[in-house]
Structures are given as structure tokens and as C-alpha cells.
Chain A
């Protein structure tokens, strides 16, 4: 049986059916955990079908595994799903992280387990839907859906009394721009009569969406704003630290980055290629600033969750920088780094969760000297830390290196300066990560560990961490495997500038049109 055209709906409906079954099953014993684990593992298994059957040979970034069924005739809404190199890695990533999230929640979620796992699975559907929907309306449905379970997870299962405030903050931050996004989506439909993403992208390349450039600008900003808040991109990160501090581990693991960044690459760049390039210098600056800003704030936190929040902000800013450099290297690196960074981030939050399970604190000042007590825990912490700081041979190095070298080749204003600023991130990230590890694990025994005699990692925790460690090495050593699917997308996005507009951006368009990444475009412009 050829699953290729049914696989994406299957991936989407499995967690949906799972959520319905869990809702019916009683919340007794470990039924809910085992049920959720089974559903998420099954979904993960299905997502593995994509890389197994993906056609890596195409150089044109076509959609594969497409399902395209007419759903509503008027307005023309289609149930259109598909995956390409941009989304395939993310679908598999979401598939992998879900069972790990269940493992992380195994003992920490004890009340209202049914609510938790049902919401968790709904969140899973929303994410998978966002990554695979090719109909703008369908996409918007999933996008909005992604908001609700997360808000409820934070509000219901947050750690402190502050949880409701954090949830409302998160909701308001992301809901208001999403409403504006809806206006943008509708305007597009009104202009073009279609929600279909491939068609819209083609129209955009032909400049036939609209002649009204200010309307186009407004629409592109509506898109970008909604996505940028969701990422979040500096300085729109106001919700981030509170949400991360409150949200349970399983929710935090999927909270940031992926959805917004994917959407920028797919929709902002796809539908508004010209506007995206015009705003690129600003976004490059915000990316570079975000890297340094996140790192500096991570350096001075005492709370491990806030530490992780700012570390995440820094890591996500790398992706912004790479994407808006509009070079092959930057875009390839950015797409790779979304997956890669999510894995490192997941490991970080898992480990913090395991620490909290043992000692009931996220305050670094409570810790110290744990290395002798918990040798496996410290091993994984160090490994995760090395991954985050971008040690070569581990996952994040590939992404960061490509992003920064892409930024260096970018043609936008002040790119050289911002590349240098962004590269200081490698110093600062080593600073904050090693400081954190030192404060928690080295030196004298802190007062929490002195009070509580906790065991080293247990089997369940090993099961959650080893797959991540394996992916660190896999992506770090064998990046071409994933990169082969990403590269055509990166090349396409880097080149897909519409007609050159010599008056405004001569250098920019020649570089983008004529060059594979090798052709120099900086100072002397001609060495090969």
C-alpha cells in the first residue's frame, strides 16, 4: 500500500483520535500516561515515513506527500497538506519531542492528568498542522489552535501562583497579532481569490498579488508581526520568560521558536519576498542584538528557568539573523538550526525538569556540588551545554556556523558589523553555560542537595535523554543527511527575488540572482 498521499492526514489524525480516546478513558493509575505515550510514539513512527520516502533528488523545492481535497467550495478552502525540506525536519522533530514530553511529565503531572494529556495532544495536532497545511485558511485554523492548549497548559499546570498572569500575558501577546494576521489573510483572499499557498507564492513571484504597494506592505507587516511575537524576536519577547518559568516541562519544550520561524520562512518569505528583503536590514540587526541580549541576560540570572528563557532567546535570534541574511548559507543554516536548536532546548528543559523533580527548586543559589552525586546528570548537562555553545561535531555548530558565514556574505546594510556583533555570541554563550554548570554542579554542596538525597538519572530519564544525545551527534556529524532536503529550499528562497529594481537595490539583486553562495559579494567583489 502506498502511504505517501495519506501519510500527512494520518499523522494529523493519530493524535486527534488519541486525544478523543484519552478523553473517554478513565483518569486512573497510569492509564493516561501510557495512552499518551502510545499515541505519541505511534505518531512519531508515522512521521518517520517522511524522511524514509522523501525524494532528496529534486533540486526544485516541490511539495511532497501532498493531500489536496476540496473542502468548502466557496470560499475556496481546501484540505491541502504537503511537506518539503522546510517542514519535513520540523514534522519529525515534533514527532520525536512529543513522547519525550510525555516521559518528562510522567511523575510531575499528578492532578488532572486527563486534561493535561488531552491538551498536550491538541497542541501536538496544532503544531503538526501548522507545519503541513498549505491552505492559508487551514493554516490559520491550526495557528489559532496552537494558542489555546498552550495557554490552558500554562494557566492550569503552571508552577507558581503567577501562572494565570503568565498565561494571560502569553495569550494577549500572541492573540492580538494573530487577529491582525487574520485580516492580512483575508485581504489576500479578497485580492487573489485563493488560500492556496503554492498558488499564492507563484503569484507573488509574478508580482500579481496587488499593485497597491502600501497595502502589500501592511499585509506583510501583519504577517511578520504575528510570527515575530510567536518566535519571539527581540524586543517582542515580553511574554517569554514568564511563560517559560510557569509552563510545565513538556509544554516548554514545544513553546518557542519553531512555529513562528517556520511561518516566517514559509509565508512571509513566500508571499512577500520583496517586502521581506526590504525589512531584512532591520531584522538582521534585531537578530544580532537578540543574540547578545539573550546571552547577557542569561549570564546574570539566578533562576534556572529564566536562564533557559534568555538562552533560548539568544539561540532563536541566530535563526532570525540567518533567515534574513537571504544567502543560501544563512537560510540553510537557519532552517537546520530551527530543528537543531529545538533539540538542544528540549534537552535543556528536560534536564532542568529532572533537577526540579529531585530538589524542588529552580534557584541556582540552592545548588552546587552535584557533580559527585549525580555523575550521569552532570554528563548530560555538560553535553547539552556543549551543544548549546556550538561545539563542533555537535548539532548547533553546523547551524550557527552556516548562519554566521551567511550573514557575513549578506548584501544588506551594515551586515559586517552585525555579523561581528552576533559572533560575540560564541563567547557569551560559553560564559553563561559554563557558569550555570559550575554553579549547579561544582564547588561545595549546596543546601538543597545537602537536605535531599536524590538518586542519579533513572531509566525513564535515560530513555528521554539518550535519543536527544544521539540526535546531537547525528546532526553534528552527518548534517548532509538533513541538509540535502533543506538546501533546495534555501537556494530557492535566496534566489527568488522578483524583478530587480536597480534604483533601490542593484547590488542586492545581482548577487541574489547570479550567485551560488561561492561568489563573493563583499569588499572587492571579484575573487573567486
Chain B
């Protein structure tokens, strides 16, 4: 495949965005769907072609395409330039593959929504930005995609803009992401100041050659971590992601699970040369990752909204990926990124199918017994739940285990502790996912009440807007609950399959595999010899690895067992426990009051300071007062101006001429008058 074809991979979805964005409103829905799907399918085909090219024996390790300059001044230039290596290949595969499936699913899911054209235009805009993000060969062009996905996310979260919650969440997502961008930008400014360039091909070799460890490299790395924490929803900037669930469910699957939120992981992996130079920054990444994983999982334990559970689960899984980056196990991070894209996209889409079946209900307390009502959704979701819980041989097991093993064997002094945190999180993950599974699909059907209510014309407060109207008809004919159409189930089945077998590309040697994905990524991460994780992996005994795998499997099973006990055998247990420690429960249920804390400690004081101190005291008082004072001080002048303020152009012209005459007079006799020799 010629390198120039790379341009078409992002440009086609952009064309789709322009077409649907400008004329989509006037097109029939089929045409809108056709445009959106076509301009996503062709890039997927191109990516497949790219894979086959790059995997041929004589292919270069990096395929580049450079066009004209984007920004160019003396001493600094950034081109429109793409580069594809094996890391990019994996992400391209995920983005176009999973992306296409989700487009397909959306055609069914959104079929009856207003603003159908808008939805698909934004979705294509997202694809464009995400593809630019992974294809770019410089930090600045990466930042273009980075901001672009943020914009698409803003637009899609706020898709139901008439709802205040949706509009607020969209804004929150954008602004919190901007806090991350603040760090990213500063990192880029420092890179320019030190290396005069933002091209990966210039900066990374220069860093590798640099004799310096730590110092400003640590500063740059930490600033990049701020950016990554914003995009990948890590502590302390994770708060936007749970709220992002206000968007339509396919959006949650595509943007807030499979692709966009992994951009931070991608960026850290991409800049691994820099991070390898700064053990401190790496340690920070590892600690943030482990802390986020544990913290988010603990909130996920007690959420009632099915999408919120999945959202906190996403934050937690992203924490795992961060942790992997932090122990310099970048290929393990990318491996988990890959499997997570499969099973989390699946889980969201399946949750969407459940919500669809229940006409917009998202509260698990009002579900139950859906196993037989929507069997295909049930079975595919089961595949996803087992995969994320980390039970072999499903996808999540291999990638999560790789991370835990790498953490355990990393030279980081905190390695064992971080491993323990990861292990505990794994148990919690298994528990809350099976909790979701049991509450949704087993036990008594708790949704009848809602349907009675619904048929009385009283939609539930949390109802998925827009889904209401078309389900009304189905409520009448099918008694409500119904399986989704095949346009939606097809992607579910495919992703279910991938959630089963997706992990087999990384079966470690200890379990008789070849860990193909790590070898595949070797050309990208091979230079990571500093932390020596790859080396460790080969030398460490297989017994340790097997032992760790056994432990984490047991922990996952324990999570399942507990959930089985709590939510199937003796359904009152969890509530009883919660009653035993009501304060503690309330704190977790309210997500540790972090949003309230931010609002109380940052947002409110900032607004009050701006309004009262800056606005009233400083601007009206001092600045305005200065103006008023100057006015009073020149009262004579202002009297004069009032007199000449006739509003008559001729008199103004006269004054101007008089002034000019005075000036000339001064000039003629000026030398003696001004005495400034």
C-alpha cells in the first residue's frame, strides 16, 4: 500500500462528517446511515490492506507520509505527517474495526431518534479525530486528534442537549479534558524549548541520546501524565467519565470505553522513550494507575445504574493500563487496551440492548430475570462479564494477568504492593460485574411496575429520552420486553466472540503460548531496556508466573462466588451489610463525594472570587474608579468636551484642523518651545 493512501484513512470519515453535517438534515435516514457506514467501512478495509502490507517480510518498520507544513516559522516547523508502526497498527485495527461495528449497531439503536443525521456526523467526526491521533508523527498533530476527540465527545455527550444533565456533562467533559490539555501543552512548550521540535522522529532520539536523567525530562513526562490522566480518566481527573454516560449508549461504547479514553495510554506508550528516562515519572504513573483502579472499582461496587457501573469499571480498567505503563510494561498495557476494547464495547452495547429492551430503563433495581426474555443479549453479555472478570480462557484473563505479573516482577520497589492492589481490584471487578449480571438477568422480574407506569404515560425520570416514543408501540404489542433487531445483535455476537478469543494473541510462555502481541510490538518498545521488564519476563521462573495466574483466577472466582451468594442465593445480604455500616455505604454510594468536593473547594470559590473580588471590587471599583477619577480630575476637560460634543461632524473636523494647526505651530517654533535638546 503506498504511503500516500494513509491520508484517506482519516479523510474519508471527515468527508462523511461534512456530508452528513451539512446536508444530512435533508437526507432520508437510509442515506445518512449509508454515508456514515460507507465512510467508516472503507478506512477499515484500508487498514486491513495496511496490515497486510506492513506484515510482509520486506516492509519497513515505520511507514511515513509527509505532506506540506501546517505551522512553519523560522526555527520551528510542524508538517502534516503520518507514521505507522506496529503500535499504530493495533490501534488502527481497534478503531476502525470496533468503530465500524458500533456504527452498525447505532443504526439500529438510534433508528427513531431525532437528530439522527447529527449523531452520525459527530460519530464520523470522532473517527476522523481518533485516526489522526494515532496516525500522527508529531506531538502537535497528535494534539489535533486529541482535541478533536474531545470535541466529538462533547458534542455526543450533549447529544440530548435539551436535558440539562446532558449539557452539563458535555461541558464538564470538555473542561476537565482541557485541564489535561493544559499539562500536555506545557509539555510541548518545554519540548520545543529544549529540542526545537515536536516530531517523534527528532525528539525521541534526542532524548535517548541525552545524557540527562530526570530533571526537565521528568517535568515534561509529568506534564504529559496530566494530559493522559485527563483523557484516560485517571485520578484526579476521572470525574468527567461517569457523567459522560449521559450520551447515547453506542457513544459510551465507542468513545468512553473502546477508543478515546485509551488515548492517554497510547500517548504514554508512544512517549515511552521519555518515560524510560524518568523512573520518578514512571512511578507516579504506576501509583496513579493502581490507585485509580482500586478507587473506581470500589465505587462500582454499589452503583445502581447499569451504565454507571460500566463507567466506573472503565475507569478502573484504564487504571490497570496506566499501572502497566508505570512498570514499563507497555506491551501489556496495549494488550489490555486491545482486549478491553472488545469486552467493554461489548458490555456497553449489550447494556444498550438491555436498556433498549426495557424502553430506557437503566436502574438495575428495576431489572432482573431478563435471561430468557433477551437470550442473545444475555449470552453475549455473559461472554463480556466473564472476560472482564478475568476467568480463563477469556480475553481479559490474559491481558490482566500479564499486567499483574509484570507489576509483580518489576524492579519498582513498590511492585509487590501495586500487584496486591491490582489483585484486590481484580476480585472487586469480578464481584461487581457478576453483581450486574445477576441483578440484570436473574431473579424476579422487577420491571413490570415500570411498564405499568409507562403505559400510563409516566415515563421514568431516568428514561432514555427519545427511546420512549418508539417503544411505546412495542410496549403495547410485546408486553414491553423484546430482543433487539439483528443489526444490533450482529455486532454483539462478533464482539462476544472476540471477548472469548481476543486474549489468545498474548498467551504467555508459561501457559504454553508465544505471547505474539509482545513480539509484535517489540520493534516499538524494544528500546525499553532501562526498566528491563521484558528481560525480567524471560528470566523469571515460569513457576512464579503460573502461581500468580492461579492466584488471580482464584480471586476472580471468589468474586463470582460472593456475587452469587449476595445477589442470587441470599438476595438480602448486600442490603443487610449496607445497613450495618450506613455511613460508610453512603460515602461509597455517593462516589466519595468527590464531585461535591471539587465543586466546594475549587469551582465555587473560583466563581465567587471572580464575581466579587475581581468583578465588583477590582473591575468596578479600582479599574472603573480609576476611570471615574481620571474623569473627575479632568472635569474641566470634560466640560470642554461636552461643549464641543455637538454630535456635528463639521465641528469635529474643525477641532481636528485646529489641533493640527497647533501641532504645526509647535513644530515650527518647537525647538525653542520644547527645550528638549
Are A402 and B73 also in contact (CB < 8 A) when A172-B630, A238-B626 are? yes
Inter-subunit contact A517/B196 (CB<8 Å) = yes
Closest B residue to A521 using CB positions: B193
Distance A479 CA – B140 CA, assembled complex (angstroms)? 14
Distance A409 CA – B148 CA, assembled complex (angstroms)? 27
By a CB distance below 8 angstroms, the chain A residues around B624 are 238
Inter-subunit contact A118/B649 (CB<8 Å) = yes
Query: Does A461 make an interface contact (CB < 8 A)?
Result: no
Inter-subunit contact A297/B670 (CB<8 Å) = no
By a CB distance below 8 angstroms, the chain B residues around A519 are 75, 196
Inter-subunit contact B671/A299 (CB<8 Å) = no
Please encode chain A, from 150 to 167, with 1 for each CB lying within 8 Å of some chain B CB and 0 for all others.
001001100000001000
Inter-subunit contact B195/A527 (CB<8 Å) = yes
> From residue A188, how far is it (CB to closest CB) to chain B in Å?
10
> From residue A368, how far is it (CB to closest CB) to chain B in Å?
10
Q: Which of A230-255 contact B (CB under 8 A)?
A: 235, 237-239, 241
9 A-B pairs in the complex with CB atoms less than 8 angstroms apart:
A329-B192, A404-B189, A408-B192, A419-B189, A443-B161, A487-B72, A487-B73, A516-B74, A517-B74
By a CB distance below 8 angstroms, the chain A residues around B59 are none
Please encode chain B, from 138 to 175, with 1 for each CB lying within 8 Å of some chain A CB and 0 for all others.
00100110011001001000100111100110110011
Distance A391 CA – B73 CA, assembled complex (angstroms)? 20
Inter-subunit contact B148/A392 (CB<8 Å) = yes
Q: Which of A376-434 contact B (CB under 8 A)?
A: 386, 391-393, 398, 401-402, 404-405, 407-409, 419-420, 423-424, 426-427, 430-431, 434
Distance A303 CA – B154 CA, assembled complex (angstroms)? 25
Inter-subunit contact A442/B161 (CB<8 Å) = yes
Query: Does B34 make an interface contact (CB < 8 A)?
Result: no
Give the residue of A426, A444, A527 whose beta carbon is less than 8 angstroms from that of B182.
Answer: A426
Give the residue of A372, A398, A487, A517 whose beta carbon is less than 8 angstroms from that of B162.
Answer: A372
Inter-subunit contact B158/A424 (CB<8 Å) = no
Are A518 and B196 also in contact (CB < 8 A) when A118-B649, A172-B630 are? yes
> From residue B350, how far is it (CB to closest CB) to chain A in Å?
30
Distance A237 CA – B622 CA, assembled complex (angstroms)? 11
Are A522 and B663 also in contact (CB < 8 A) when A145-B656, A171-B641, A300-B607 are? no
Q: Which of B610-663 contact A (CB under 8 A)?
A: 610-611, 614-615, 619, 622-624, 626-627, 630-631, 634, 637-638, 641-642, 645, 647, 649, 652, 656, 659-660, 663
Closest A residue to B181 using CB positions: A426
Q: List 15 other contacts, CB 8 Å, given A155-B645, A386-B151, A480-B72.
A: A75-B664, A141-B660, A152-B647, A168-B631, A189-B667, A296-B606, A296-B610, A329-B76, A404-B189, A420-B186, A427-B181, A430-B178, A434-B154, A443-B164, A517-B74
Query: Does A453 make an interface contact (CB < 8 A)?
Result: no
By a CB distance below 8 angstroms, the chain A residues around B610 are 296-297, 299-300
* A164, A392, A408, A516, most chain B CB atoms within 10 A: A392
Query: Does B494 make an interface contact (CB < 8 A)?
Result: no
Q: How many A-B residue pairs have CB under 8 A?
A: 227
Inter-subunit contact A443/B162 (CB<8 Å) = yes
Inter-subunit contact A438/B73 (CB<8 Å) = no
Query: Does B668 make an interface contact (CB < 8 A)?
Result: yes
Binds A, one of B38-46, B209-217, B315-323, B589-597: B209-217
> From residue B673, how far is it (CB to closest CB) to chain A in Å?
9
Query: Does B190 make an interface contact (CB < 8 A)?
Result: yes
Query: Does A186 make an interface contact (CB < 8 A)?
Result: yes
* A148, A215, A442, A483, most chain B CB atoms within 10 A: A442
Distance A443 CA – B396 CA, assembled complex (angstroms)? 40
> From residue A527, how far is it (CB to closest CB) to chain B in Å?
5
> From residue B209, how far is it (CB to closest CB) to chain A in Å?
10
By a CB distance below 8 angstroms, the chain B residues around A424 are 182
> From residue A85, how far is it (CB to closest CB) to chain B in Å?
12
Distance A176 CA – B76 CA, assembled complex (angstroms)? 42
Are A296 and B70 also in contact (CB < 8 A) when A148-B656, A152-B652, A423-B186 are? no
Are A443 and B167 also in contact (CB < 8 A) when A426-B185, A434-B174 are? yes
Are A490 and B73 also in contact (CB < 8 A) when A391-B147, A420-B186 are? yes
Please encode chain B, from 196 to 226, with 1 for each CB lying within 8 Å of some chain A CB and 0 for all others.
1100000000100010100110000000000
Inter-subunit contact B70/A328 (CB<8 Å) = no
Inter-subunit contact A518/B656 (CB<8 Å) = no
Inter-subunit contact A144/B656 (CB<8 Å) = yes
By a CB distance below 8 angstroms, the chain A residues around B611 are 300
Inter-subunit contact B75/A517 (CB<8 Å) = yes
Inter-subunit contact B162/A176 (CB<8 Å) = no
Interface size class on chain A is 35 or more
Query: Does A6 make an interface contact (CB < 8 A)?
Result: no
Closest B residue to A215 using CB positions: B676
Inter-subunit contact B676/A191 (CB<8 Å) = yes
Query: Does A524 make an interface contact (CB < 8 A)?
Result: yes
Please encode chain A, from 490 to 528, with 1 for each CB lying within 8 Å of some chain B CB and 0 for all others.
110000000000000000000000011111111110011
Chain A residues with CB under 8 Å of chain B are 74-75, 115, 118-119, 141, 144-145, 148, 152, 155-156, 164, 168-169, 171-173, 176, 182, 186-187, 189-191, 215, 235, 237-239, 241, 293, 296-297, 299-300, 328-329, 332, 369, 371-372, 375, 386, 391-393, 398, 401-402, 404-405, 407-409, 419-420, 423-424, 426-427, 430-431, 434-435, 438, 441-444, 477, 479-480, 483, 487, 490-491, 515-524, 527-528
Chain B residues with CB under 8 Å of chain A are 25, 68-76, 140, 143-144, 147-148, 151, 154, 158, 161-164, 167-168, 170-171, 174-175, 178-179, 181-182, 185-186, 188-190, 192-197, 206, 210, 212, 215-216, 606-607, 609-611, 614-615, 619, 622-624, 626-627, 630-631, 634, 637-638, 641-642, 645, 647, 649, 652, 656, 659-660, 663-664, 666-668, 670-671, 674, 676-677
Inter-subunit contact B630/A176 (CB<8 Å) = yes
Inter-subunit contact B182/A427 (CB<8 Å) = yes
> From residue B263, how far is it (CB to closest CB) to chain A in Å?
14
Distance A434 CA – B660 CA, assembled complex (angstroms)? 48
By a CB distance below 8 angstroms, the chain A residues around B667 are 75, 186, 189
By a CB distance below 8 angstroms, the chain A residues around B676 are 187, 190-191, 215
Inter-subunit contact A332/B73 (CB<8 Å) = yes
Inter-subunit contact A491/B74 (CB<8 Å) = yes
Inter-subunit contact B181/A391 (CB<8 Å) = no
Give the residue of A118, A371, A516, A527 whose beta carbon is less than 8 angstroms from that of B194.
Answer: A527
Inter-subunit contact A520/B74 (CB<8 Å) = no
Inter-subunit contact A190/B195 (CB<8 Å) = no
Inter-subunit contact A409/B193 (CB<8 Å) = yes
Inter-subunit contact B193/A405 (CB<8 Å) = yes
Closest A residue to B145 using CB positions: A392
By a CB distance below 8 angstroms, the chain A residues around B71 are 398, 401-402, 479-480, 483
By a CB distance below 8 angstroms, the chain B residues around A155 are 645, 647
Distance A300 CA – B607 CA, assembled complex (angstroms)? 7
Distance A119 CA – B653 CA, assembled complex (angstroms)? 12
> From residue B147, how far is it (CB to closest CB) to chain A in Å?
5
Distance A528 CA – B70 CA, assembled complex (angstroms)? 22
Closest B residue to A172 using CB positions: B631
By a CB distance below 8 angstroms, the chain A residues around B614 are 293, 296-297
By a CB distance below 8 angstroms, the chain B residues around A405 are 76, 188-189, 192-193
> From residue A93, how far is it (CB to closest CB) to chain B in Å?
20
Inter-subunit contact B670/A189 (CB<8 Å) = yes
By a CB distance below 8 angstroms, the chain B residues around A435 are 171
Inter-subunit contact B151/A391 (CB<8 Å) = yes
Closest B residue to A140 using CB positions: B663
Give the residue of A74, A328, A401 whose beta carbon is less than 8 angstroms from that of B74.
Answer: A328
Distance A367 CA – B447 CA, assembled complex (angstroms)? 39
Inter-subunit contact A172/B196 (CB<8 Å) = no
By a CB distance below 8 angstroms, the chain B residues around A369 are 162
By a CB distance below 8 angstroms, the chain B residues around A491 are 74
> From residue B69, how far is it (CB to closest CB) to chain A in Å?
5
By a CB distance below 8 angstroms, the chain B residues around A75 are 664, 667-668
Distance A434 CA – B174 CA, assembled complex (angstroms)? 9
> From residue B558, how far is it (CB to closest CB) to chain A in Å?
43
By a CB distance below 8 angstroms, the chain B residues around A441 are 161
